């Protein structure tokens, strides 16, 4: 008798989880993600005004490298770069990125797009929809988790590229004036930081020598974006664990 | 299994129940003898198809991908070329031989494709793969070397391409998309609704500079899922998004007509059947056939006029299936333009089942009668063929012998490891128990038919109990390097615990429970590592992967020292 009551209770709780709790958590998740989208300083539909522009001074070795950038959305719309490179003697270089040919940070666009995909998955679930099984919920949560993980990773782990790729990259053509052929410049995002790096390849007595200079600046909105990504991931994972570990994992509700 | 001289032969053992196969994409080979289904777990199933009746049986399971299969495509335009290319959510791409199931080539790219289309370009000897996905370019790849041949980039509003279509304009009408062209044309649509057109002459330089679009136009269409051009007139374009499908005039990309999805359903994709008809399918696994209004048919005198109230897209057929268990995710569907029985719509779903509809050809007279009749109801059509892995398994006599059939329990197996030196197969299960069985006898029961299958005395087994939930991973460190003690077996479970076992005595030496998340992976650090008697443990603490180092298995100082967060 007790067992039957217990089972009945469990069954009801499971129905509550599928029919009420899942929707409630998805709503919560939706508002976190909408909040996250707002942190990106870029318009997501054409009627929302232009990109917000912010100025950053990147700091590295003070006497070797100076870099001031204007960041607007997923582009570096303007940059003033000056640095010293050790050759036979020290050589000074100066170059810029101009408004009409911005340097694109694909990581920001990728993160924003993955975020939109996650929102799109949530948006696809009608508010009064009754989930049929825990597998169905797990599948949807898996999709959302995938988007969030990819979005977060695209900011945290920059795509690895060879020096050759960097030198040939389309962004290198943004630089005015062009710089020496043995140098590669790169802007990328690593977590909440915008990093600027200069790589020099030289051949010393037949062996390849590789030097790097680096400067960085912390971008406040990136930090907020990452926090919201993590909060959303945790919430989603908690719900997934809850659904998966319910006592009747394979029950099908009609 | 490994024999002498480094020869390794992987062996997969099936049990009495069919494996789960939640299909994520489906493809029918060009000779219509093989159906390929890729699933969310990363396996690919090959089904042998009887080309006239479309009866099919699962023939082969291709294991290799570690993530959901997102796209499948033919590798060649040659009819009897039996290769297919698959691409997964982690950027892995494989070229498979459909005859023997071998993987001929594989790469892992930093780019993840969501769609791959094979197309025979002007000036190339065989098909090229046109890929789009989570990146702002279109990559054109060689299906056999899996190298990127060249890249199509955007000058204006570069963004992810959500749908693309490649076509060769007819000589007769060259009005496609603003320009007069005679080469191949790639139409791409970004997630934010910019249509782009690239023209390819066939002698693109190899992998140096990207090729930029010739034209670009903003339209009001976000997150498109599919785009296809009518192959006969090349003047109308079908664009499908989850909420509606629309017909556009390819000349200026203006909307001609638009149809919302049914309540509770979302469109997945669609295709032109002929210039005045389309087939569109939804995430509910149904196909909808529409007759287009006069303003959306290129050869009609009313083409491109404003849409009128009494002439809207007319739904005349619904391809659906009744009385089936609900599926837990949208089925994968594919339209096949021609086969021995006419055009087909194939659906494969989360239950590992395959359904095929014969897309009916309705002549205009019948259609007009349907239209003028009082109820205007669309006809329904059930699939002519239906099968599933479960059906195939139950048809098998005798059924396959499972690894642990002697235990007579239905507990699922969740991890396994083969120990060649001991000739043992170690299996972790969903209930937390670990079972050790002699490997050779188990494989023999499965693969060889003979009198030994009639014996009642099963090979003896040993059970280790220490976990309180699913066993996620098993590791035999001695296998990787001899510095580890050969009696040690390590297991990690959903219960946050790592257990250290004495393999020979069958005893639990220690149970580490200091993790704040389930253990997902156990690894041995490289040889050159300074702390050489450690183990790496990867666990998931509310989704943040952590690697912990478990110190010293040999000297009985068992404790954790370092924690890395990645």
Domains of chain B: 20-108+367-399 (2.130.10.10), 110-224 (no CATH), 405-562 (2.130.10.10)
Rounded to the nearest 5°, which phi and psi values hold at A22? Answer: -60, -45
**Cis, bond preceding B398 (omega within 30 deg of 0):** yes
Chain B's closest residue to A44, CA to CA, is B192
Strands across the sheet with B226-229, in order?
A: B226-229, B236-240, B244-249, B255-260
Alpha-carbon span B181 to B169, nearest angstrom: 7
**pLDDT at residue A49 in the model:** 54
Pick the closest to residue B187 from B201, B169, B170, B167 (CA basis).
Answer: B167
**Residue A63, min C-alpha distance to chain B (Å):** 33
> A132 — contact with chain B (CB < 8 Å)?
yes
**pLDDT at residue A7 in the model:** 56
Interface of B with A (CB under 8 A): 22, 40, 89, 110, 112, 134-136, 153, 158-160, 191, 208, 210, 218, 223, 242, 263-264, 266, 325-326, 328-329, 350, 542-544
Chain B positions in Cβ-Cβ contact with residue A114 (cut-off 8 Å): 134
Alpha-carbon span B72 to B511, nearest angstrom: 44
Contact (Cβ atoms closer than 8 angstroms) between residue B181 and residue B122: no
Pick the closest to residue B422 from B501, B499, B537 (CA basis).
Answer: B501
Residue ranges of chain B with pLDDT lower than 50?
1-4, 173-174, 176-181, 542-545, 551-566
**pLDDT at residue B542 in the model:** 45
Of residues A14 and A158, more confidence is placed in A158
Number of inter-chain CB pairs under 8 A, A vs B: 63
CB atoms under 10 Å from CB of B513, counted, come to 10
Contact (Cβ atoms closer than 8 angstroms) between residue B445 and residue B453: yes
| Interchain pair A124, B135: CB under 8 A | no
Alpha-carbon span B150 to B122, nearest angstrom: 15
Rounded to the nearest 5°, which phi and psi values hold at B537? Answer: -125, 125
CB atoms under 10 Å from CB of B274, counted, come to 14
Chain A positions in Cβ-Cβ contact with residue B263 (cut-off 8 Å): 126
Whether residue A252 lies inside any domain: the answer is no
Alpha-carbon span A94 to B385, nearest angstrom: 70
Residue by residue, what is the 3-state secondary structure of B28-50?
Answer: ECCCCCEEEEEECCCCEEEEEEC
Chain B positions in Cβ-Cβ contact with residue A139 (cut-off 8 Å): 22, 40, 328-329, 350
Q: Which domain holds residue A100?
A: 2-247
Contact partners, residue A104, CB within 8 Å, separation at least 6: A74, A75, A76, A171, B158
As given in the structure block, the two tokens for residue B154 are 């955007």
**Cis, bond preceding A235 (omega within 30 deg of 0):** no
Alpha-carbon span A97 to A154, nearest angstrom: 24
Burial B316-349 (b: 16+ CB within 10 A, else e): bbebbbeeeebbbbbbbbbbbeebebebbbbbbb
**Residue B521, min C-alpha distance to chain A (Å):** 18
ipTM: 0.88
Alpha-carbon span B72 to B29, nearest angstrom: 10
Contact (Cβ atoms closer than 8 angstroms) between residue B229 and residue B274: no
Long-range contacts at B89-94 (CB < 8 A, ≥ 24 apart): B89/A146, B90/B66, B92/B64, B92/B65, B92/B66, B92/B67, B93/B141, B93/B146, B94/B64, B94/B65
Chain A positions in Cβ-Cβ contact with residue B158 (cut-off 8 Å): 104
Rounded to the nearest 5°, which phi and psi values hold at B211? Answer: -100, 130
- 3-state DSSP assignment of residue A138: helix
- 3-state DSSP assignment of residue B207: coil
Q: What is the mean pLDDT of chain A?
A: 86
Chain centroid offset of residue A99 CA? 24
- Domain count for chain A, please give it: 1
**pLDDT at residue B208 in the model:** 66
Whether residue A43 lies inside any domain: the answer is yes
> A238 — contact with chain B (CB < 8 Å)?
yes
Chain B positions in Cβ-Cβ contact with residue A252 (cut-off 8 Å): 325-326
Beta strands, E only, A73-176:
75-86, 90-97, 103-104, 175-176
DSSP symbols for B228-279: EE-TTTS-EEEEE-SSEEEEEETTT--EEEEEEPPTT--EEEEEEEETTEEE
As given in the structure block, the two tokens for residue B322 are 């009744």
| Interchain pair B325, A252: CB under 8 A | yes
Mean pLDDT of the region A37-48: 72
Whether residue A174 lies inside any domain: the answer is yes
As given in the structure block, the two tokens for residue B71 are 């796209």
Whether residue A89 lies inside any domain: the answer is yes
**Residue A77, min C-alpha distance to chain B (Å):** 14
> A110 — contact with chain B (CB < 8 Å)?
yes
CA distances for B383 relative to B27, B320, B344, B420, angstroms? 17, 7, 10, 48
| Interchain pair A124, B242: CB under 8 A | yes
Alpha-carbon span B305 to B310, nearest angstrom: 14
Chain B positions in Cβ-Cβ contact with residue A234 (cut-off 8 Å): 542-543
**pLDDT at residue B562 in the model:** 46
| Residue A208: strand pairing partners | A203
For an interface test with B, the pick among A148, A152, A241, A254 (most B C-beta atoms closer than 10 Å) comes out as A241
| Interchain pair B191, A46: CB under 8 A | no
Q: Is the pLDDT of residue A253 over 50?
A: no
CB atoms under 10 Å from CB of B192, counted, come to 18
**B238 CB-side CA count, 13 A:** 29
Chain A positions in Cβ-Cβ contact with residue B543 (cut-off 8 Å): 145, 149, 233-234, 236-237
Chain B positions in Cβ-Cβ contact with residue A170 (cut-off 8 Å): 153, 210
**Residue B543, min C-alpha distance to chain A (Å):** 6
**pLDDT at residue B566 in the model:** 41
Tokens 């398994």 appear where? B393
For an interface test with A, the pick among B223, B468, B543 (most A C-beta atoms closer than 10 Å) comes out as B543
**pLDDT at residue B435 in the model:** 92
Pick the closest to residue B210 from B122, B138, B116, B144 (CA basis).
Answer: B138
Pick the closest to residue A151 from B450, B31, B112, B265 (CA basis).
Answer: B112
Chain A positions in Cβ-Cβ contact with residue B208 (cut-off 8 Å): 168
| Residue B2: strand pairing partners | B8
Please measure the distance between the N-terminal and C-terminal CA atoms of chain A and give it in whole angstroms.
25
Whether residue A74 lies inside any domain: the answer is yes
pLDDT tens digits for range A163-178: 888 888 888 888 989 8
Of B135, B158, B543, which has the smallest distance from its Cβ to A104's Cβ? Answer: B158
**pLDDT at residue B287 in the model:** 96
**pLDDT at residue B324 in the model:** 80
- 3-state DSSP assignment of residue B221: coil
Chain A positions in Cβ-Cβ contact with residue B22 (cut-off 8 Å): 139
Q: How confident is the model at residue A47 (pLDDT cuts 50, 70, 90)?
A: very low
pLDDT tens digits for range A92-108: 999 999 988 899 999 99
| Residue B286: strand pairing partners | none
Chain B's closest residue to A169, CA to CA, is B209
Q: Is the pLDDT of residue A247 over 50?
A: no
Chain A positions in Cβ-Cβ contact with residue B40 (cut-off 8 Å): 139, 142
| Interchain pair B328, A132: CB under 8 A | yes
| Interchain pair B110, A124: CB under 8 A | no
């Amino acid at each position: 008798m007790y067992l039957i009551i217990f089972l009945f209770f469990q069954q009801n709780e499971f129905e509550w989880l599928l029919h009420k709790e899942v929707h409630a958590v998805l709503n919560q998740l939706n508002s976190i993600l909408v909040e996250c989208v707002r942190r990106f300083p870029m318009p997501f539909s054409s009627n929302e005004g232009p990109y917000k522009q912010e100025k950053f001074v990147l700091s590295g070795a003070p006497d070797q490298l100076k870099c001031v950038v204007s960041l607007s959305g997923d582009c570096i719309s303007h940059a003033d770069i000056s640095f010293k490179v050790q050759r036979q003697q020290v050589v000074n270089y100066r170059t810029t990125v101009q408004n009409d040919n911005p340097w694109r940070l694909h990581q920001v666009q990728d993160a924003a797009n993955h975020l939109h995909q996650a929102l799109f998955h949530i948006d696809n679930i009608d508010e009064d929809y009754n989930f049929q099984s825990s597998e169905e919920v797990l599948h949807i949560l898996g999709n959302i988790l995938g988007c969030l993980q990819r979005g977060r990773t695209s900011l945290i782990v920059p795509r690895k590229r060879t020096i050759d790729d960097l030198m040939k990259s389309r962004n290198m053509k943004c630089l005015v004036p062009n710089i020496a052929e043995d140098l590669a410049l790169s802007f990328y995002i690593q977590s909440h930081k915008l990093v600027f790096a200069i790589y020099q390849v030289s051949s010393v007595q037949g062996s390849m020598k590789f030097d790097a200079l680096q400067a960085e600046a912390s971008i406040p909105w990136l930090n907020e974006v990452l926090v919201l990504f993590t909060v959303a991931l945790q919430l989603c994972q908690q719900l997934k664990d809850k659904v998966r570990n319910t006592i009747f994992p394979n029950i099908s509700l009609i | 299994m490994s024999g002498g001289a480094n020869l390794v032969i992987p062996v997969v053992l099936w049990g009495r129940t069919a494996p789960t196969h939640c299909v994520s994409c489906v493809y029918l080979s060009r000779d219509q003898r093989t159906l390929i289904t890729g699933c969310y777990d990363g396996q690919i199933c090959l089904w042998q198809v009887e080309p006239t009746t479309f009866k099919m049986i699962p023939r082969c399971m291709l294991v290799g991908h570690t993530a959901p299969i997102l796209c499948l495509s033919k590798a060649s335009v040659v009819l009897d070329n039996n290769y297919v290319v698959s691409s997964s959510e982690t950027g892995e791409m494989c070229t498979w031989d459909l005859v023997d199931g071998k993987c001929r080539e594989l790469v892992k790219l930093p780019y993840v494709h969501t769609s791959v289309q094979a197309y025979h370009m002007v000036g190339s000897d065989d098909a090229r793969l046109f890929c789009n996905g989570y990146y702002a370019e279109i990559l054109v790849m060689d299906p056999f070397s899996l190298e990127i041949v060249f890249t199509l980039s955007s000058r204006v509003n570069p963004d992810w391409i959500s749908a693309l279509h490649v076509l060769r304009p007819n000589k007769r009408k060259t009005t496609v998309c603003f320009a007069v062209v005679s080469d191949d044309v790639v139409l791409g649509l970004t997630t934010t609704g910019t249509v782009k057109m690239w023209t390819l002459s066939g002698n693109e330089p190899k992998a140096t500079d990207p090729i930029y679009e010739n034209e670009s136009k903003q339209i009001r269409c976000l997150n498109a899922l599919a785009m296809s051009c009518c192959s006969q007139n090349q003047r109308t374009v079908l664009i499908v998004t989850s909420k509606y499908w629309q017909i556009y005039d390819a000349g200026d990309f203006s909307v001609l007509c638009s149809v919302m999805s049914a309540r509770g359903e979302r469109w997945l994709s669609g295709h032109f059947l002929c210039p005045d008809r389309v087939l569109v399918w939804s995430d509910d696994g149904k196909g909808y056939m529409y007759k287009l209004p006069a303003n959306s048919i290129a050869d009609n005198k009313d083409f491109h006029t404003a849409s009128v109230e009494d002439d809207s897209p007319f739904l005349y057929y619904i391809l659906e299936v009744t009385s089936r268990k609900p599926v837990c995710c949208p089925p994968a569907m594919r339209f096949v333009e021609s086969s021995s029985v006419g055009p087909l719509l194939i659906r494969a779903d989360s239950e590992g089942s395959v359904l095929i509809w014969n897309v009916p050809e309705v002549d205009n007279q019948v259609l007009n009668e349907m239209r003028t009749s009082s109820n205007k109801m669309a006809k329904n059509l059930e699939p002519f063929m239906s099968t599933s892995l479960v059906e195939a398994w139950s048809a098998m006599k005798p059924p396959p012998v499972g690894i642990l059939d002697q235990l007579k329990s239905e507990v699922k197996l969740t991890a396994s490891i083969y120990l060649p030196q001991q000739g043992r197969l170690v299996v972790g299960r969903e209930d937390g128990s670990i079972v050790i069985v002699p490997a050779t006898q188990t494989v023999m029961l499965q693969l060889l038919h003979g009198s030994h299958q009639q014996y009642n005395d099963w090979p003896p087994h040993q059970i280790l109990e220490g976990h309180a939930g699913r066993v996620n991973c098993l590791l035999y460190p001695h296998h990787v390097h001899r510095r580890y003690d050969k009696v040690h077996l390590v297991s990690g479970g959903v219960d946050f615990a790592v257990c250290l076992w004495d393999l020979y005595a069958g005893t639990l030496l220690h149970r580490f429970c200091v993790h704040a998340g389930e253990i997902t992976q156990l690894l041995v650090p490289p040889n050159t590592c300074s702390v050489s008697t450690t183990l790496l443990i990867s666990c998931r603490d509310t989704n943040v992967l952590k690697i912990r180092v478990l110190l010293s298995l040999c000297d009985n100082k068992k404790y954790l020292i370092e924690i890395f967060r990645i």
